[in-house]
Amino acid sequence: MTRNNLAPTPADGPARADPQATSPDQPTSPDLATAVLTSAEFELFAQLGRARRVSAGERLFRRGDLGTTMYVVGSGEIELDFGEDLVAKRLGPCEFFGELGLLIGDHARSADATATADGELVELRHEEFQRLVDRDPGLVSHFLRRAIMRVVLNEQGLIRRLRRRNHDLQSALDNLHATTHQLNQAEHLVRTDELTGLYNRRGLVLHLQERSTDGPAGGMGLILVDCDRFKQVNDDHGHLVGDRVLQSVASILRSVVGPGGVACRLGGDEFCLLVPAATPADVMRFANYIVSTAQHLMQVADEAATAPAICALSVGACLVDPQADWNEWYAQADAALYRAKRHGGDRVEWQDLPPTPA
Rounded alpha-carbon distances, angstroms, from residue 309 to 231, 268, 287, 305: 14, 17, 20, 9
pLDDT in tens, 222-270: 999 999 999 999 999 999 999 999 999 999 999 999 888 999 999 999 9
The pLDDT assigned to 301 comes to: 67
The strand order across the sheet containing 119-124 reads 50-54, 119-124, 70-75, 96-97
User: In whole angstroms, what is the distance from residue 51 CA to residue 1 CA?
Assistant: 7
Across the chain, the runs of DSSP E, i.e. the strands, are 50-54, 59-61, 66-67, 70-75, 78-81, 89-91, 96-97, 107-108, 112-115, 119-124, 220-227, 262-267, 270-276, 313-319, 347-350
Cα end-to-end span (Å), the chain? 102
Where does 3-160 sit in CATH, by number?
Answer: 2.60.120.10
Segments making up each domain of the chain, as ranges: 3-160, 201-350
Residue 252 neighbours by CB under 8 Å, 6+ apart? 290, 293, 294
* For residue 345, pLDDT beyond 70: yes
Binned at pLDDT 50, 70 and 90, residue 17 comes out as: very low
**126-170 pLDDT per residue, tens:** 888 888 888 899 888 888 888 888 778 877 877 887 888 888 888
Residue 13, CA atoms < 13 Å, CB-side half-sphere: 13
Q: Looking at this protein, which amino acid is placed at residue 232?
A: Q
Comparing 77-81, 230-234, 298-302, 316-320, the range with the smallest average pLDDT is 298-302
Average pLDDT of the residues in 73-82: 94
Residue 358: pLDDT over 90: no
Domain 201-350 sits in which CATH superfamily? Reverse transcriptase/Diguanylate cyclase domain (3.30.70.270)
Give the pLDDT of residue 355: 67
Residue/partner pairs of 157-161 with CB below 8 Å, 24 or more apart: 158/86, 161/86
Identity at 133, one-letter amino acid code? V
**Backbone φ and ψ of 176, nearest 5°:** -65, -45
In the chain, % of residues over pLDDT 70: 86
Q: Find the helix packing angle between 39-48 and 137-191, rounded to 10°.
A: 100
pLDDT in tens, 196-224: 999 999 989 888 888 877 655 568 999 99
pLDDT band at 321 (very low <50, low <70, confident <90, very high): confident
Fold match, 3-160 / 201-350? no
User: Which pLDDT score, from 0 to 100, does residue 16 have?
Assistant: 40
Rounded Cα distance between 217 and 320, Å, is 8
